[in-house]
Chain A
């Protein structure tokens, strides 16, 4: 069975500061990895994903994440936070190949950006 752990249910950063949201997974085989963002009263928007190829992936809104197999991690970063980045962020995993199809989500991290 696979699982996802997001460290820190709430993260607060100053505008212009580095954003780091942590995600670790547990799976016998490295899964597909996703980050989603949810703004208030909206659905989930796909930020970025890792399936194959380069382990550093770039997404929308200046976010990027690096898959590190040795650390079973897929942390989300952004060099300079903007007020509009305030939202809830979810890390999710899905098995590769024929291991099943559903997404398993972490519990989410609420990002607050302060002036």
Chain B
């Protein structure tokens, strides 16, 4: 079956602009995660959604970052007023609630802020 998909694969934007990154999880996976990967920072947790529960936003680095998940499926990560330090690869993952089947990642969106 289809894996986790993300769009766009690459995004170049100017400092100060807003960007939206999209994630389509594996069908039937109720848990969805966003991570960020950058040089020097490794893989950082951003936010976690599970079903209709309140999301775990403890990893969001600032209030410029937000995410939503509509209908328990597709998720959008929004970064407002982008800064150069936001340049990174943004990875989305999904799993079943108990994670025992594994947590599966998408190919990522490479964000470059000029």
**On chain A, which size bracket covers the interface?**
20 to 34
Would you call B42 and A32 a contact (CB within 8 A)?
no
Cβ-based interface call for A34 (8 A): yes
A105 touches B102 (CB 8 A): no
Determine if A44 and B50 form an interchain contact, defined as CB atoms under 8 angstroms apart.
no
| Chain B residue at smallest Cβ distance from A49 | B102
Chain A residues 9 to 48 lying within 8 A of chain B, measured CB to CB, are 32, 34, 36, 42-46
Is the beta-carbon distance between B107 and A43 smaller than 8 angstroms?
Answer: yes
| Cα–Cα, bound, A101→B96 (Å) | 11
Chain A residues whose C-beta falls within 8 Å of the C-beta of B59 in the assembled complex: 102
Choose from A43, A46, A52 the contact partner of B108 (Cβ within 8 Å): A43
| Given A103-B33, A103-B45: A36 and B105 interface contact (C-beta under 8 Å) | yes
Partner of B103, one of A94, A100, A108: A94
Q: List residues of B whose CB falls within 8 A of some A CB.
A: 4, 31, 33, 35, 42-43, 45, 48, 50, 56, 59, 91, 93, 99-100, 102-108
Residues of A within 8 A of B31 (CB): 101
Known contacts A102-B48, A105-B43; A51 and B33 CB within 8 A of each other? no
A107 within 8 A of B: yes
Interface residues in chain A, defined as those with a beta carbon under 8 Å from any beta carbon in chain B: 32, 34, 36, 42-46, 49, 51-52, 90, 94, 100-105, 107-108
CB pair A32 B100 closer than 8 Å: yes
9 new A-B contacts at CB < 8 Å, known A104-B45, A105-B43: A32-B100, A43-B105, A46-B104, A49-B102, A94-B99, A101-B50, A102-B48, A103-B93, A107-B42
Measured between beta carbons, the chain B residues less than 8 angstroms from A100 are 56
A sample of 29 inter-chain contacts (CB < 8 A) reads: A36-B105, A42-B107, A43-B4, A43-B105, A43-B106, A43-B107, A44-B93, A45-B105, A46-B102, A46-B103, A46-B104, A46-B105, A49-B100, A51-B100, A90-B43, A94-B99, A94-B103, A101-B48, A101-B56, A101-B99, A102-B48, A102-B59, A103-B33, A103-B45, A103-B103, A104-B45, A105-B43, A107-B42, A108-B43
Within the complex, the shortest CB–CB distance from A104 to chain B, in Å, comes to 7
